[in-house]
């Protein structure tokens, strides 16, 4: 069977790319060894965050934020997105200094979405916060959505435009010849002019296949979610000197992350939660919100995600093969970028270039002695 584009990976990056390519008349096939959103895309924290991004990601993130504001126009669903803002709390003057330096950095780059706010403004926004905090770095319009719903919306709209989706079809190999990619899977072979590697934590295996493995590791960041509570917390919470990302979802549950890692057996795709770290996470939450001590944790889990050594994704054409493009390594902060990354990938495929500054994400940026 022949397509214009074959995409490995039925996560958000894969379907966002498929959607954009389909909008431009390309026929797409999305392949996955599991089901859509089985891994990072389905189980992440749903954060829509521009705040505290690596400067290289800021242009993409700012563009993505605009897409999220009207996401319903793009994918026919609002993905339950909310935009109550995000704060990065300074508990003391030292924290505040760090945050001010950051604010200056960002405004120096010409962006004004990160603003310092004082204690009065902070407590107006987060009245339930423990006493004694001195201020925060605030990003208006940041927020969150529901990841699996977003993924479903991207999948549905891509498929409505003709994208074919095949789960349980692990890709075994891919060869380029006579202007065509032939992709072999456990459920048969397919061919296309163009191949996209959006395989998340498994993308490096494919990159290796094409002679361009990058220094990336699969890791399993942990999350906890609580029972539903009456609504008391508007903005998403982070803290300048703590590993914490904490929000109250649309349905009243609290979602607690902080990038603490579980133990991962990548081969078996099994994670073992690290309760030491989860205990630390619980203490962190209670330090900032002591009144939550009796709140019940309903579920804890870890998702499998790809982390590059520099924490930046790979969004680029292949450095070794024709008509091959890579899109992976989002290091636990890809969700928000997904609508814009799909546009970038479509631009790369069709025009050969993107208007957004993506050279920091080039696959050949890793120095030779870093490559595996």
Partner 1 sequence: MFTRSDDEKSKPVLFYLNGRQVQGQESDTIASALLLNGIATNRKSVLANQPRGPACLMGVCYECLVTINGKHNQQACQHLIEEGMRVETSTEAGSYDQS
Partner 2 sequence: MKRAPKQAVMTKAEQYDTVIIGAGPAGMSAAITCSEYGAKTLVLDEQMSPGGQIYRGISHQQAQHKALLGPDYLKGEQLVNAFIHSSAQYQPSTRVWHLDDDRHAHFSVDGGAGIVKAKSLIISSGAMERPLPFKGWTLPGVMYAGAAQILFKSHRLVPSENTIVAGSGPLLYLLVWQYLQAGRKIKAVVDFASFNNKVSSLKYLPKALLAYPYLLKGMKYQREIKKAGIPIFTGAKRLTAIANKQNNLEVNCLDKITFEDNSGIHSLQCEHLLTHFGIIPRIQFTQLLGCEHDWDERQLCWKPNVSRWGETSKAGIYVAGDGASITGAVTAELSGKLAALHSLKEQGHIEIAERESLAMPCFKAREQDAYIRPFLEAYFKPPQEMLSHPDPETILCRCEDVTAQDLANAIDAGHENINEIKFFTRCGMGPCQGRQCGQSVAHFVANTRNEPVSAVGSYRARPPVSNLSLGELATLYPEEKE
Does residue number 299 form part of the binding site for partner 1 (CB under 8 A)? Answer: no
Does residue number 283 form part of the binding site for partner 2 (CB under 8 A)? Answer: yes
Pick the closer one to partner 2 by CB: 111 or 148: 148
Which of 119, 180, 261, 280 binds partner 2 (CB under 8 A)? It is: 280
* Chosen from partner 1, partner 2, none, partner binding at 149 (C-beta under 5 to 8 Å by type): partner 2
Binding segment for partner 1 (CB under 8 A), chosen from 77-85, 105-113, 200-208, 222-230, is 222-230
Pick the closer one to partner 1 by CB: 230 or 368: 230
Does residue number 230 form part of the binding site for partner 1 (CB under 8 A)? Answer: yes
Does residue number 268 form part of the binding site for partner 1 (CB under 8 A)? Answer: no
Does residue number 227 form part of the binding site for partner 1 (CB under 8 A)? Answer: yes
Q: DSSP states of 198-265 as a string?
A: --GGGHHHHHHHTT---SEEEEEEEEEEEEE--S---SEEEETTEEEEEEE-TTSEEEEE--PEEEEE
Tell me if 37 sits within 8 A of 59, measured CB to CB.
no
Residues 225-244 that bind partner 2 (CB under 8 A): 226-227, 242-243
* Chosen from partner 1, partner 2, none, partner binding at 266 (C-beta under 5 to 8 Å by type): none
Q: In DSSP terms, which residues pair with 8 in a beta bridge?
A: 31, 197
Residue 355 has, within 13 A of its CA and on its CB side, a CA count of 3
Residue 189 has, within 13 A of its CA and on its CB side, a CA count of 10
CA dist., res. 23 & res. 335, Å (int): 21
CA distances from residue 100 to 82, 115, 140, 299 in whole angstroms, order as listed = 27, 9, 17, 36
SS3 84: coil
Residue 128: which H helix or E strand, with range? Answer: none
Query: From the CB of residue 267, how many other CB atoms can be counted at a distance below 10 Å?
Result: 6
Does residue number 303 form part of the binding site for partner 2 (CB under 8 A)? Answer: no
Q: Compute how many residues bind partner 1; rule: CB under 8 A.
A: 9
Does residue number 294 form part of the binding site for partner 1 (CB under 8 A)? Answer: yes
Q: Return the DSSP state at 118.
A: E
Does residue number 152 form part of the binding site for partner 2 (CB under 8 A)? Answer: yes
Does residue number 84 form part of the binding site for partner 1 (CB under 8 A)? Answer: no
Does residue number 267 form part of the binding site for partner 2 (CB under 8 A)? Answer: no
Pick the closer one to partner 2 by CB: 37 or 59: 37
Q: Compute how many residues bind partner 2; rule: CB under 8 A.
A: 39
Residue 118, both tokens: 């004082």
Angle between helix 12-23 and 147-160 (nearest 10): 30
Does residue number 296 form part of the binding site for partner 2 (CB under 8 A)? Answer: yes
Does residue number 252 form part of the binding site for partner 1 (CB under 8 A)? Answer: yes
* Chosen from partner 2, partner 1, none, partner binding at 101 (C-beta under 5 to 8 Å by type): none
CA dist., res. 335 & res. 331, Å (int): 10
Interface pattern 16-35 for partner 2 (x via CB under 8 A): -------------------x
Query: From the CB of residue 335, how many other CB atoms can be counted at a distance below 10 Å?
Result: 26
Nearest approach in angstroms of CB 290 to partner 1 is: 14
Interface residues with partner 2 (CB under 8 A)? 35-37, 42, 148-149, 152, 155-156, 159, 167, 226-227, 242-243, 251, 272-273, 275-280, 282-286, 292-301
Interface residues with partner 1 (CB under 8 A)? 227-230, 250-252, 294, 296
């Amino acid at each position: 069977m022949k397509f214009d584009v074959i995409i490995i990976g039925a996560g958000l990056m894969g379907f966002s790319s498929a959607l954009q390519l389909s909008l431009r008349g390309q026929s797409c096939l999305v392949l996955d060894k599991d089901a859509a959103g089985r891994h990072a895309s389905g189980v992440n924290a749903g954060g829509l965050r521009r705040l505290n991004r690596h400067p290289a990601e800021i242009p993409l993130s700012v563009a993505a934020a605009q897409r999220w504001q009207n996401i319903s126009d793009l994918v026919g669903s609002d993905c339950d997105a909310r935009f109550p803002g995000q704060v990065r709390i300074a508990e003391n003057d030292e924290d505040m200094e760090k945050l001010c330096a950051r604010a200056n950095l960002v405004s120096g780059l010409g962006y004004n979405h990160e603003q310092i706010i004082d204690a009065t403004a902070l407590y107006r926004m987060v009245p339930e916060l423990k006493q004694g905090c001195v201020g925060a770095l605030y990003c208006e319009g940041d927020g969150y959505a529901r990841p699996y719903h977003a993924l479903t919306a991207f999948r549905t709209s891509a498929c409505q435009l003709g994208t074919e989706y095949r789960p349980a079809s692990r890709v075994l190999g891919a060869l380029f010849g006579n202007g065509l990619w032939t992709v072999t899977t456990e459920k048969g072979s397919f061919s296309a002019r163009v191949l996209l590697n959006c395989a998340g934590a498994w993308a490096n295996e494919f990159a290796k296949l094409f002679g361009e493995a990058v220094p990336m590791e699969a890791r399993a960041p942990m999350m906890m979610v609580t029972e539903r509570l009456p609504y008391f917390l508007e903005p998403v919470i982070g803290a300048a000197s703590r590993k914490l990302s904490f929000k109250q979802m649309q349905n009243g549950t609290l979602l607690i992350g902080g990038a603490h890692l579980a133990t991962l057996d990548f081969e078996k795709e099994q994670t073992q939660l690290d309760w030491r770290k989860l205990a630390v996470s619980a203490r962190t939450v209670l330090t900032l919100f002591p009144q939550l001590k009796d709140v019940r944790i309903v579920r804890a889990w870890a998702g499998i995600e790809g982390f590059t050594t520099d924490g930046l994704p790979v969004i680029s054409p292949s450095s070794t093969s024709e008509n091959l493009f890579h899109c992976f390594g989002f290091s636990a902060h890809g969700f928000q970028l997904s609508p814009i990354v799909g546009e970038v990938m479509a631009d790369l495929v069709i025009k050969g270039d993107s208007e957004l500054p993506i050279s920091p994400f080039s696959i050949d940026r890793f120095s030779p002695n870093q490559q595996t």
